[in-house]
Structure 1
Amino acid sequence: MPTPVNHLIMAQETIESGWLTPSAQHLLEAERGPFLLGHTAPDVQTVSGRPRHETHFYTIPPGDDAPAHRALLAAYPELGRRDRLTPSRAAFLAGYLAHLLVDEKWWREIFHPFFGPQAGWATWEERLFLHNVLRTWLDRQDQARLDGGEAETLRGVEPQGWLPFVRDEDLQAWRDLLVEQLRPGRAIRTAEVFAARMHLPTEAVERALESPEQMARIFRHVPPARLGTYRADALRHSAELLNEYLAPIMFDV
């Protein structure tokens, strides 16, 4: 699934895509900080310690039920009452829903066919490792696109009861974790995090990233064009979702 850095860049790409309605565009530009935080916020379980499915609204593998973003709104219908949401909360929730959409899309279109149990190349353990190497590589491509202002934009966001299933304190801790890594001169710890989850030294991920043979192996099985198609489709579907979700909102922002 996309990393927090990927989600930040995808959020910015969505705002700049030209696919948003004027009202959605206006809201998300005015409430950019909450939207950016929301686009990363399902990963709050990193600091809250809660099970992943409680913040992502789908299991792995996903079932055949409603998409995760629909499942969230079905579980908490008050979050779909856009006329009762403040502009900042609406933008945050819009980002949250978009995160769920692009994450689930990654599982179905990239992870499952190319790295999943039936992928049929290498071993299961090797595929899991190389999947995280690919995610780290994509993360670094997007790190180069950060404009340096993300830390300050996120720093000013103050959740106020925005999610009935996540404490404000946990969202604040997640925000602060992002800000600390995004500050100028700081290192983003994606490789370190993935390595720790696999009980491997960070150097194992770094060596694979620096190995032309390992990267070529990944791209033999996951064509770069397929990754590009995923990204373009994810952004287009995100814009469609945001236009639908934000359509009734007539905020004076």
Structure 2
Amino acid sequence: MPTPFMHLASAQEILADDLPARVSCLLNEQRGAFLLGNTGPDVQTVSGQAREETHFYAIPRTSRRPAYQTLVAAHPQLVRVDELPASQVAFVAGYVAHLTLDEIWLEDVFLRYFSGDEGSWRERAFAHNVLRTWMDAQARRKVDDTVIVALKNAALDGWLPFVADEHLRQWRDWLIEQLAPGHHVQTAEVFARRMGVSAGEIEAMLRSPEQMEAQVFRRIPRAALRAFHDEGLKRSVAVIKRYVCGDINSVVTQ
């Protein structure tokens, strides 16, 4: 699914969107919490939890219910936004945006373009991870230096009933380390370990426009990536507005 940097870049676009005054005020005043929330479900890499425990859906899918609805059904206290601290509301708003973007990627990118019969599963998975690494690098360039300061100012305080603050702090600190100027981003290494290949193999393809065209963009047209971006922004903004206004269960997802 989208990488943490892709989620952070998306969060910055959401903050710059034409949001209702109430929503814009909240998210910008609690920017660090909102940014962290947009990466929140990926805390599983630190906490060791199963995907279903932080993302609220399984792969392959066992239900068509949107993940954010499964989240709020399991933890209804998170919907009572008038009773929650502003920082927690902003964090959860980012969290449901992450879940929404992940599901769009799963359906519109991964399943549509990388789960067919063309080539072996290993070849398709490799191309998918190269694509994500390529998009991650683009997203990283869009994440400005103020994000580090905002994340450092995110004062965690029991925002999630199913993840310990300790794990969220570790996750936040890892993000800050990755964002530090001059730091080597480990996206290629992370994907390489999962696939049992070297990071050099991913990086070699990224350096070759010919291989990128033949192995990645032959599978998925760039227009599909633009459509993913536009649909992701639209639906993320929709779910955030509904959540902040206490009406999350009425979000139209299609």
* TM-score normalized with structure 2 length: 0.94
What corresponds to 1:151 in structure 2? 148
2:188 paired with 1:199: no
Tell me the residue number matched to 2:252: none
Give the deviation of 1:248 after TM superposition.
Answer: 4.5
Within the candidate set 213, 227, 234, 1:229 is matched to 227
Paired with 2:124 and 2:71, the residues of 1 have a C-alpha distance of 30
173, 181, 185: which is aligned to 1:184? 181
1:213 equivalent in structure 2: 210
Equivalent residue, structure 1, for 2:113: 114
> How far, CA to CA, are the matches of 1:103 and 1:138 in structure 2?
14
Which secondary structure does the structure 1 equivalent of 2:88 belong to? Answer: helix
1:144 is paired with a residue of what secondary structure? helix
**Which stretch shifts more, 56-65 or 74-83?**
56-65
Equivalent position SS for 2:218: helix
Checking the alignment, whether the CA contact within 8 Å between 1:34 and 1:92 is kept in structure 2 is yes
Deviation track 1:39-87 (CA, whole Å, cap 9, x = no partner) reads 0010001111111111000000223331001100001000111111100
SS at structure 2 position matched to 1:160: coil
Give CA deviations for 1:91-140 in whole Å, capped at 9, x if unaligned: 00000000000001100110001111xx1211111000110000000001
Q: Give the C-alpha shift of residue 220 in structure 1.
A: 1.5
1:54 aligned partner = 53
Matching residue of 1:99: 98
Matched, 1:86 2:85: yes
Number of residue pairs matched? Answer: 246
- Are residues 213 and 43 of structure 1, via their aligned partners in 2, closer, same or farther at CA, if it must alter by over 3 Å? same
Is the partner of 2:42 in helix, strand or coil?
helix
The answer on 1:246 being equivalent to 2:244 is yes
Shift of 1:158: 2.1
- Does the 8 Å contact 1:28/1:35 carry over to 2? yes
Alignment of 1:164-175 (within 5 A): 164-175=161-172
Assess if the C-alpha contact under 8 Å between 1:41 and 1:171 holds in 2.
yes
Preserved CA contact (<8 Å) 1:47 1:170: yes
Aligned counterpart, 2:250: none
Q: Which has the higher mean CA deviation after the structures are superposed, 85-94 or 240-249?
A: 240-249
Contact between 2:108 and 2:228, CA under 8 Å: does it hold in 1? yes
- In structure 1, the gaps of 5 or more residues are none
State the match for 1:2 in structure 2. 2
- After the TM superposition, list the runs of 4 or more consecutive aligned residues in structure 1 that deviate by more than 6 angstroms: none
- Write the distance in 2 (CA, Å) between the matches of 1:214 and 1:77: 48
Superposed CA RMSD in Å reads 1.2
TM-score (norm 1): 0.95
What 5-or-longer segments of structure 2 have no aligned partner?
248-254
The residue aligned with 2:42 is: 43
Distance 1:213 1:65 in 2: 38
Counterparts of 1:103 and 1:62, CA distance in 2: 13
Contact 2:46/2:167, CA 8 A, preserved across alignment: yes
CA distance in 2, matches of 1:131, 1:228: 16
